[in-house]
Amino acid sequence: MSALTGEALAVARAEAQKAVRKLRATSPVLSDAAIDLILRDARSHYAWQDRPVSDDMLHTIYEIVANGPTSMNCCPARFVFVKSPEGKARLAKSLKDKNIDKMMAAPVTAIIAHDLEFWKELPFLFPHEDRRPHFEGKPEHSQDTAFRNGTLQGAYFMIAARAIGLDVGAMSGFSNDICDREFFKGTSLRSNFLCNIGYADESALFQKLPRFAFDQVCSYA
C-alpha cells in the first residue's frame, strides 16, 4: 500500500479538485445529441455489418470504463474480447441456439465477467487503508460486491462503446456455467453477461418497445 500523506496528499487533492472544477466549467452538460446517442435514442442491435472493430477501439472503451465509479474503487469487472473463430466456437457452446448467429456475426463479443477475489487488489486500488478484512473469508459479501459493481462496469462498457461510435447488443441467453468452464476454469472469475460490439445493420431493427412513465416507477420519500 502506498497512500499519499502530508503535503503530497494535500497537493494531490487540490489538483483533483481543480481538475473537476475545470471540467465542469468547460463541459457542464452533454448535448441532447450526445445523450440521444448513448441512451435516449440508442438501440440494442442483433445484426452486424462486416466491418472490423480495432484493438485500439477496445482499449479506448476500457480506458473510459476504468474511470467509472465503483465502491471502494474495487473495479471487479474483467473483460474477454472474443474475436477469433476459435474463440467464437468455444463461446457458442454456451449460447442458446437463437443467439449463436448473432454472436458469430458480430466482429467482437465481450464476456463481461467479475473477479470474486477482487479484494486482493485493494491495496493497489484503495491504498488509503487496508479494506481486505471486509471481504476475506466472506464469500457471500465478496460475491454480492463483485456482481453489483461488475454489472455497473458492464453498463459503463455499453455506454462507452456507443460514445465512440460503435453499436452494442447485450445478451443474457447463454449458460454462465458452460461459459465459465470454457473460459474461466480454475480461476476466481465468473461471467455475468455477453455484449456484441460492432457496426450495426439497422435493417434488422424493429420498433422501439415501450418504457414506463416517470409516475409509474418513481416516487419521493
24: exposed, middle or buried (Cβ count in 10 Å: 0-12, 13-18, 19+): exposed
pLDDT of 3 reads 87
pLDDT of 2 reads 78
The helix or strand, by DSSP H or E, that contains position 195, with its residue range, turns out to be strand 189-198
Question: How far out from the chain centre does Cα 32 lie?
Answer: 23
pLDDT of 47 reads 96
pLDDT of 56 reads 98
Alpha helices in 78-175 (DSSP H): 85-92, 97-105, 122-125, 139-163
Residue in 78, 79, 86, 91 with CA at minimum distance from that of residue 176? 91
Residue in 66, 80, 75 with CA at minimum distance from that of residue 145? 75
Tell me the CATH architecture of domain 33-203. Answer: 3-Layer(aba) Sandwich (3.40)
pLDDT of 186 reads 98
pLDDT of 52 reads 97
Alpha helices in 1-136 (DSSP H): 6-26, 32-35, 55-66, 85-92, 97-105, 122-125
pLDDT of 151 reads 98
59 and 182 in contact (C-beta within 8 Å)?
no
pLDDT of 38 reads 97
pLDDT of 55 reads 98
pLDDT of 112 reads 98
Tell me if residue 109 falls in helix, strand or coil: strand
Residue type, 11: V
Q: Which residues contact 60 (CB under 8 A, 6 or more apart)?
A: 160, 164
Q: What is the pLDDT along the chain (221 residues), one digit of tens a residue?
A: 678 899 999 999 999 999 999 999 999 999 999 999 999 999 999 999 999 999 999 999 999 999 999 999 999 999 999 999 999 999 999 999 999 999 999 999 999 999 999 999 999 999 989 999 999 999 999 999 999 999 999 999 999 999 999 999 999 999 999 999 999 999 999 999 999 999 999 999 999 999 999 999 999 99
Q: Which residues contact 159 (CB under 8 A, 6 or more apart)?
A: 38, 39
